[in-house]
Amino acid sequence: MTITAARAHLGSDERRDLRNVAIVAHVDHGKTTLVDAMLSQTKAVGGHGDVEDRVMDSGELEKERGITILAKNTTVFYSGPHAQEDAGVDKVTINVIDTPGHADFGGEVERGLSMVDGVVLLVDASEGPLPQTRFVLRKALAAQLPVLLVVNKTDRPDARISGVVSDSQDLLLGLASDIAEEDSSIDLDTVLDVPVVYASGKAGRASLEQPEDGGLPQNEDLEPLFSAILRHVPAPRYDAEQILQAHVTNLDASPFLGRLALLRVFNGTLRKNQLVSWVRKDGSHKTVKITELLITEGLERVPAEEAGPGDIVAVAGIPDIMIGETLTDPENPQALPDIVVDDPAISMTVGINTSPMAGRVKGAKVTARQVKDRLEKELIGNVSLKVLDTDRPDTWEVQGRGELALAVLIEQMRREGFELTIGKPKVLTREIDGVMQEPMEHMIIDAPEEYMGAITQLLAGRKGIMETMSNTGTGWIRMEFRVPARGLIAFRTKFLTETRGAGIASSYADGFEPWKGDIEYRISGSLVSDRAGTATPFAMINIQERGTFFIDPTDEVYEGMVVGENSRNEDMEINVTKEKKLTNMRSAGSDSFEGLTPPAKLTLEESLEFANEDECVEVTPEAVRIRKVVLDSSERSKQSRKKKSASQ
């Protein structure tokens, strides 16, 4: 929908005992840690202090990467001294939506914003507002949600609290001004009158008074934050005369109850065993029964008899329900607008594993039916993903917001036992007024100033244009670039290499522009195995001066497999299986590994970045390999000659 459209159904009554709020921020600015502290101080979970547990990041990949991938909701019950003072009730239920900070998971953010009445904008006291801060904040302002600014990590040694508050206000004004050009109902004065709370989520402290840079907030708990939420996030409004309207915003599953629909009740009352009208996306409706109704308490879902306006609940009993659909009155069904998210910008092909090593892992899922069923299952809960058929057998095109979102999907499938062949990510272009246009990104880079030249040269080769540059006076510089989205494919690894791992880069989608021309992603070639066999130390030691290996001695290889990176800008076919000739003076067991340089082990994301246009990535539960799309060397040579003659 637009989120504002759903709220147009609300009337003048309000639930003073309830607040629905989303916490939005850039990656690693402390959203999940702050929610942990809120849960602990309201006794929803025990023992704050072990922040590494990050109870809201429940997924395996979330814990490993330290980022939020899926939006999740939790509930805290606040009955502190400000409940009666600020809300006029003894206890206030606060539903908190923890949203991802990365723009690649923007669909989760948009879903989260459709469930709430206000936003807590979390900004790091040192880094300030960054690209994903801009992305999520723009969504909140467009939905006309009130914003509460929380400057987090005030105890960082490099904190610059006043500067961050000023930068955040400038960002608010800039975004609100842009949106006001499209929507005249935006009040710029209200946007700028944003309350500020200073916090340290790790310490579980907050205050309304600004602490010294690097100092902890004055209060020893989060009472000022709870008070600010009660005062500045409006209570849910509804129309007491309106029929039941509940909007499905997420899906989950239970081994006992089957599919669960997570929804917000906008009007009316939803009860267990109630008959409701299920309005689908195509406009059809069907009467169904709510077999189970669950509310959230802390991190657990518990049975309930009914839910009123503003409540965020889970219901069971509708096996095929989808995100964006409505539960309403069966006698007078009235649907809420669908959830509309931004279009995908990146695509890649996903197919069955076609390498000579396919099917060797016991229990692996290798058939086309299994892969297709898994991709279709992902569509149920991932509104920002699209899966399209291709002209190649057993291969599908998967479209998403960014390279990270697609890599996370493939990594999840790999851990579930799937074997796949993944094509190199590509951008999705569109034709506007007869001109082919490509998506652009606004990139912000923070790095030590000695790397400025290397970064500028790296992005210039990817058609990036520097827009601004500032020096913080601490030896670091901030540069802002406008660069084609395809220029950021395979960018991360080279950027970290050029900045010796010290640089920080992030970006967000920034419209479309005419095609910028060809971009050279790699200046190096690939070392390609010319035969099948087992890699030997003898062969690898003799060849290692040609480049960097991706494999270990004794690893099995096949023809067309990329076993390393060539130091020259061309592919080289090599024999890594060659064995030392045996004589009376030399034995097979005398090979030494001492002269062999350790190989570079590429992750899935690094493999996707490294792969060239004529290469793809083989993914199995046990290994990730890069290979040529065409394995036979003579066939590759024929295709290369045809391509050259066609271009002349």
Over the stretch 468-481, which tens digit does the pLDDT of each residue have? Answer: 998 867 788 889 99
Hey, where are the domains in the chain?
17-234, 245-328, 430-514, 525-647
Q: Is 499 annotated as a binding residue?
A: no
3-state secondary structure of 600: coil
Q: Which residue has the higher pLDDT, 207 or 340?
A: 207
The whole-number average pLDDT for the span 295-324 is: 87
Q: At what angle do helices 106-113 and 131-142 cross, to 10 degrees?
A: 30
For 298, which DSSP code? B
First to last CA, the chain: 50
pLDDT of residue 353: 94
Report residue 169 as tokens: 């206000």
Q: Is 29 annotated as a binding residue?
A: yes
Amino acid letter, residue 496: L
pLDDT band at 49 (very low <50, low <70, confident <90, very high): very low
Measured CA to CA in angstroms, residue 118 lies from 3, 102, 110, 114, 230 at distances of 12, 20, 13, 10, 10
- How far is 402 from 346, CA to CA, in rounded Å? 5
3-state secondary structure of 549: strand
Of the ranges 28-32, 212-216, 373-377, which one carries the lowest mean pLDDT score? 28-32
Q: What angle do CA 111, 177, 163 make, to 5 degrees?
A: 90
- How far is 114 from 175, CA to CA, in rounded Å? 19
The CATH number given to 430-514 is 3.30.70.240
- Report the DSSP pairing between strands 476-484 and 465-471: antiparallel
pLDDT digits (tens, 9 = 90+) for 445-503: 888 889 999 999 999 988 999 999 988 677 888 899 999 988 888 787 788 888 888 88
Measured CA to CA in angstroms, residue 18 lies from 6, 75, 89, 266, 461 at distances of 19, 10, 10, 13, 53
pLDDT band at 67 (very low <50, low <70, confident <90, very high): low
Which sign, positive or negative, has the C-alpha torsion 557, 562, 567, 572?
Answer: positive
Measured CA to CA in angstroms, residue 164 lies from 124, 147, 152, 158 at distances of 8, 16, 10, 12
Q: Is 285 annotated as a binding residue?
A: no
- Report the DSSP pairing between strands 258-267 and 245-254: antiparallel
Closest among 283, 377, 288, 379 to 327, alpha carbons compared: 288
pLDDT of residue 9: 46
Of the ranges 274-278, 337-341, 559-563, which one carries the lowest mean pLDDT score? 337-341
- How far is 328 from 314, CA to CA, in rounded Å? 15
Average pLDDT, the chain: 83
Q: Is 155 annotated as a binding residue?
A: yes
User: Do residues 574 and 530 touch, judged by C-beta distance below 8 A?
Assistant: yes
- How far is 255 from 622, CA to CA, in rounded Å? 28
pLDDT digits (tens, 9 = 90+) for 428-446: 888 888 899 998 888 888 8
**Helix, strand, coil distribution of the chain in percent, nearest 5:** 25, 30, 40
Whether domain 245-328 has CATH 3.30.930.10: no
Selecting from 2.102.10.10, 3.40.50.300, 2.40.50.250, 3.40.50.1470, what CATH number does the domain 525-647 have? Answer: 2.40.50.250
Q: Is 152 annotated as a binding residue?
A: yes
pLDDT of residue 62: 56
Assigned superfamily of 17-234: P-loop containing nucleotide triphosphate hydrolases (3.40.50.300)
User: Do residues 130 and 103 touch, judged by C-beta distance below 8 A?
Assistant: no
Amino acid letter, residue 338: D
Report residue 229 as tokens: 């939420």
Q: Is the pLDDT of residue 603 over 80?
A: yes
Closest among 335, 315, 316 to 325, alpha carbons compared: 335
Q: Environment class of residue 43 by beta-carbon count within 10 Å: exposed (0-12), middle (13-18) or buried (19+)?
A: exposed
For 418, which DSSP code? B
The whole-number average pLDDT for the span 337-342 is: 76
Q: Is the pLDDT of residue 192 over 80?
A: no
pLDDT of residue 10: 47
The whole-number average pLDDT for the span 63-82 is: 72
Report residue 296 as tokens: 């959230």
Amino acid letter, residue 150: V
Q: Is the pLDDT of residue 52 over 50?
A: no
The whole-number average pLDDT for the span 395-411 is: 87
Locus of tokens 């998506």: 439
64 backbone dihedrals φ, ψ, rounded to 5°: -70, -45
Q: Is the pLDDT of residue 366 over 80?
A: yes
User: Do residues 632 and 560 touch, judged by C-beta distance below 8 A?
Assistant: yes
Q: What whole-number percentage of the chain has pLDDT above 70?
A: 88
Chain centroid, CA 181 distance in Å:
29
- Who's near 85: CB < 8 A, 6+ residues apart? 227
pLDDT of residue 69: 58
- Who's near 308: CB < 8 A, 6+ residues apart? 15, 265, 269, 270
Q: What whole-number percentage of the chain has pLDDT above 90?
A: 29
pLDDT digits (tens, 9 = 90+) for 532-590: 999 998 888 888 888 899 999 989 999 999 999 998 888 899 999 988 776 655 555 55
3-state secondary structure of 472: coil
pLDDT of residue 46: 45
Round the CA-based radius of gyration of the chain to a whole number and report it.
27
Of the ranges 98-102, 174-178, 263-267, which one carries the lowest mean pLDDT score? 98-102
Q: Is 30 annotated as a binding residue?
A: yes
pLDDT band at 162 (very low <50, low <70, confident <90, very high): very high
pLDDT of residue 59: 58
Q: Kindly report the pTM of this predicted structure.
A: 0.76
